A and B are shown apart, each in its own frame.
Chain A
Amino acid sequence: MVFPQALRTVYPPVINKFIQLILGSSLVSQIALKEITNVSQTINSQTLLTMHVFTIALVLYLVLSNVTALLADVVARRAFKPPLYPPGRLRRVVLVDPIGQMVKGG
């Protein structure tokens, strides 16, 4: 009884945190784990194609975060009845405003 209701309120901020976690994974590059950022830095120092390399890295992260948000939205549409958001286009980013109300647009 309680859990499904709690899930409704908790879902958007949890997804937001999850996206931040994905972006935060860039930090492990600093302890030499090979992920997007680390590999970009290596390629940059080898080829000096700075703009190309970091643009690709940036775009990859943007794709990751936006695809996650989109998927989360698709899931929310199927899972929550009544819907979490007013019907309309898929929003690219699940947003929770910092003051704690749901943001209309996103």
Chain B
Amino acid sequence: MGWQGILNSSGILFAGFVGTVVLSIAAIVTGTILGLLVAVLRTAHIRGLGVPLRIYLEVFRGSPLLVQMLFIYFGAAYLGLRFVETFTAALIALTLYEGALISEIFRAGIEAVPKGQREASRSLGLSRVQIERYVILPQTATIVLPPLVGQYIGLVKDTALAAAIGYFELVREGQAIIDRIGMPIEVFAVVSVIYFVICYPMSLFARRLELRTLHA
């Protein structure tokens, strides 16, 4: 026994690693799309959309992700939506929650672009969509990228909450191993190290991006 037990469970841990990575990547993609969409819609000041988007942001930033996840998972079951399994529920919750946070990053980036850029493009006869697509968003990329990667690191760690609704990722698989061989300290230490291995390269990357924006 001892560490040998954990070594023998490495297959289970790997399954958990895959679960975490798959959920993270899926949520990064959907969360970024939602965040970008919300940010563009908010900064475009479209009448009638401002209040609903504000409410969306307030609700999802003002309540814990865990409660949102439980709400969506058990709520879907309550409403009889059979297709919402643990992965789907976790992905929906992560998308809505991280989307709200990411939209604030994009919004700050968009607002950092000088107003003259928008006015100049309008005087050149570009449409609203063209202005966003070809003038504003390319300029926000360098500003937005470092905090965005930072947010992704947080997202990876937030996927751990999916364990609470029974999605098999690192923490849940770790608990499964503990159920069989005990050694909670050792197992959770290994799980933490795996999270660190995922997140540390990301934070190095974020730091490099930060330096690059400073020099730009």
Taking CB atoms, residues of chain A closer than 8 Å to B70 are 37, 40-41, 44, 54
Q: A50-B74, A54-B70 are in contact. Are A37 and B64 (CB under 8 A)?
A: yes
Judge if A46 is at the interface, Cβ distance under 8 Å. no
- Closest A residue to B147 by beta carbon equals A98
Is A65 in contact with B66, judged by CB distance below 8 angstroms?
Answer: no
Question: Which of B60-81 touch A at CB < 8 Å?
Answer: 61-64, 66-68, 70-71, 74-75, 77-78
| A105 → B minimal CB distance (Å) | 9
* B143–A54 touching, CB < 8 Å: no
Say yes or no: is A92 at the interface (Cβ < 8 Å to chain B): yes
Cβ-defined contact, A97 with B104, below 8 A:
yes
Residues A62 and B63 in contact, CB atoms below 8 Å apart: yes
Hey, which chain B residues are within 8 Å of A27, CB to CB?
A: 64, 66, 161
Chain B residues with CB under 8 A of A50 = 74-75, 77-78
Check: A101 CB closer than 8 A to any chain B CB: yes
Q: Kindly provide the distance from the CB of B18 to the nearest chain A CB, expressed in whole angstroms.
A: 22
Q: How far is it, in angstroms, between the C-alpha of A103 and the C-alpha of B104 when the chains are bound? A: 10
Interface contact A29-B105, CB-CB below 8 Å: no
A103 — which chain B residues lie within 8 A by C-beta?
Answer: 104, 108
Which residues of B are found within 8 Å of A54, using beta-carbon distances? 67, 70-71, 74-75
The answer to whether B74 touches A61, judged by C-beta atoms less than 8 angstroms apart, is no
Known: A98-B151, A103-B108. A93 touches B62 (CB 8 A): yes
Residues of B in contact with A, size category = 20 to 34
Chain A, residue nearest B146 (CB): A99
A99-B78 contact given A61-B63, A62-B58, A92-B58, CB 8 Å threshold: no
**How far in angstroms is the closest Cβ of chain B from A45?**
9
The bracket for how many chain A residues form the interface is 20 to 34
Does A23 interact with chain B (Cβ within 8 Å)?
A: yes
Q: How far is the CA of A58 from the CA of B59 in the complex (A)?
A: 8
Report Cα–Cα, A30/B188, bound state, in Å.
15
A65 adjacent to B108 (CB under 8 Å): no
Interface string of A90-106 (1 = CB under 8 A from B): 00110101110101000
A23 to chain B, nearest CB (A): 4
- By CB atoms of chain A within 10 A, which of B67, B71, B105, B109 has the most? B67
Measured CB to CB, the residues of B under 8 A from A are: 58-59, 61-64, 66-68, 70-71, 74-75, 77-78, 101, 104-105, 107-109, 111-112, 143-144, 147, 150-151, 161, 163-164
Q: Could you list 25 examples of A-B contacts with CB < 8 Å?
A: A23-B63, A26-B64, A27-B64, A30-B66, A36-B67, A37-B64, A37-B66, A40-B67, A44-B74, A48-B78, A50-B74, A50-B75, A50-B78, A57-B71, A58-B67, A61-B62, A65-B63, A66-B58, A93-B62, A95-B104, A98-B104, A98-B105, A98-B108, A98-B147, A101-B108
